[in-house]
Structure 1
């Protein structure tokens, strides 16, 4: 079975933890140990987010003012190398070295006319208080948005058009390797009039890019691991209902928060409409998610459209 596993932010950095290398490695280690059994029996691709890390690197860049800060595309590539290295190493360790694990720096083609460039929504970097957020916005000309009870920087998040390394990923899987790629949604690039790649100042949503990759390599399943037990209709209201299974057409009629569950649902819809299936559920209960006793599954053939828990 060919599987794409998209690791949410909690697999790398948990809320309230300092973003240190030690915490990154500890979180990745526990994540890879949870994935080891599935990885040993499957053709697996692991993708991951980078929102907190790319924002932290941007802040660190600003601290050294003798040179211009590096742009977001280069910082995105830097996070792919940093996080990909740790995932590659810890997954190999969890498997006892029995499978080759390869980390690939990935580029994602986007459309420079995408309306996302006029409406930044992708949360990156650490959380701020209201006062600190206002100060950062004024000092760095950032766009700031609410994130729960705090505030974070937001940047454009265009839709992925294609994953340029998808053919390479396909060949690596066929050779028996496990692949870590599409980190942070892949480095966003546009193709200019001469056919050359040019970096773009944005961060592609990793779930959307993971869905694009899953379609391009013919994956059977996309698994999006997060800290929630289910996709929930009317979340945070008295009418909230957890969704066990849904068809892409039925769930596409529901509204979800743009900064949280919406990208995962949209990615799942993309995979299901291509004939695959998508699972959304908790990292710490992966076995239960696969056994379908927890989490939400989106697939084409659901009688009645939506089945609630």
Structure 2
């Protein structure tokens, strides 16, 4: 069985959301212990991850240094965080495997994802990223070509495009490594967004939704199960209400109806639900949303919100 495990970027921070190097290393050790458990049960695992907190750190460095050096573009931020987090995850996984007496090789593929240069998000960016800044600091960054919006008393905030992922260009390299027996980390943060112009590829200032990128990667590598690991054991109807209801096994059609009824927040559970639904609809296979400590049982359909074709 081949499993695509999608880790949120916050799975690489501590409980308070800090993303110091030592926090990220400790969080990776927890996550990769769970992955080692799957590998010990002869499950083939491909790992992808978010990178929001890590890119956020790079954006702060951009802001602080903007008067001295040009800001690093978002596609470069994605490439840097893919490589760094891949390195951290590989070290943690190899240690966890050694503790279990399991021998597996690991590899990270810094991965580009093709998006449409005509995606409407590029003309009217709406995805907010990074910190709120006062007008004078935002103006300095606008001078470097960034788009910032006045958000009232909170200050100014940067907005970027969030285009649909169309194709994972480096999937053949990831697949070759998977077939050779490597545990592969790929497509972090949804992939580095690139467009094709006049037969050439060019990185763009955009953010790809990591969960939609995970769904596309799972489909592309022919995963049997997509597991989206989050900080709760189930998707929940009427979250936070007295009559809140955890979802166990549910058909993709029923989950889509729940989403249409507004049960899942657009900034948290909504994209995860959409991603799992896309994978199930396109492949006829199973998707699961659950917490990291449940993933071994989730792979067999015994834990979490298990989404089925019918």
**Whole-angstrom CA distance in 2 between matches of 1:202 and 1:281:** 28
Q: 1:299 aligns with which of 299, 302, 308?
A: 308
Q: CA RMSD in A?
A: 2.6
> Who is 2:278 aligned against?
270
> Which residue matches 1:228?
232
Deviation at 1:14, TM superposition (A): 3.4
CA contact 1:120–1:143 (8 Å) conserved in 2: no
Tell me whether 1:76 sits opposite 2:78 in the alignment: yes
- Contact 1:246–1:298 under 8 Å retained in 2: yes
Q: 1:209 aligns with which of 206, 213, 223?
A: 213
1:7-86 paired onto structure 2 within 5 Å: 7-40=7-40, 41-64=42-65, 65-86=67-88
Alignment pair present for 1:219 and 2:244: no
Give TM-score, length-normalised by structure 2. Answer: 0.85
Three-state SS of the structure 2 residue aligned to 1:191 is strand
Mean alpha-carbon deviation: is it higher for 259-268 or for 110-119?
Answer: 110-119
**Matches of 1:232 and 1:43, distance apart in 2:** 29
Aligned to 2:6: 6
Listed one character per residue, the Cα deviations across residues 184-206 of structure 1 (whole Å, up to 9, x for unaligned) are 1110001112x211111111111
Displacement, 1:153? 5.7
Shift of 1:221: 0.6
Segment of structure 1 superposing worse, 247-256 or 152-161 = 152-161
1:100 corresponds, among 95, 101, 105, to 105
Change (3 A) 1:3 1:294: closer
What secondary structure sits across from 2:71 in the alignment?
Answer: coil
Q: Which residue number in structure 2 is paired with residue 283 of structure 1?
A: 292
In structure 1, C-alpha distance between the alignment counterparts of 2:291 and 2:204, rounded to whole Å: 32
Q: Answer with 158-167 or 290-299: which moved more.
A: 290-299
Q: For structure 1, list consecutive stretches of 5 or more residues without a partner in the other structure.
A: 146-150, 302-309
Task: Name which of structure 1's ranges 288-297 and 87-96 shifts more when overlaid on structure 2.
Answer: 288-297
Q: TM-score, normalised by structure 1?
A: 0.86
Q: Secondary structure at the match of 1:95?
A: helix
1:182 matched to 2:191? The reply is: no
Deviation track 1:120-144 (CA, whole Å, cap 9, x = no partner) reads 23x6446x6xxx6888666645358
Q: Distance in 2 between matches of 1:222 and 1:60?
A: 34
Offset of 1:4 from its aligned partner?
0.6
**Is 1:160 matched with 2:161?**
no
Q: Any gaps of 5 or more consecutive residues in structure 2?
A: 143-147
Take 1:137 and 1:236, find their aligned partners in 2: how far apart are those partners? 36
Correspondence for 2:145: none
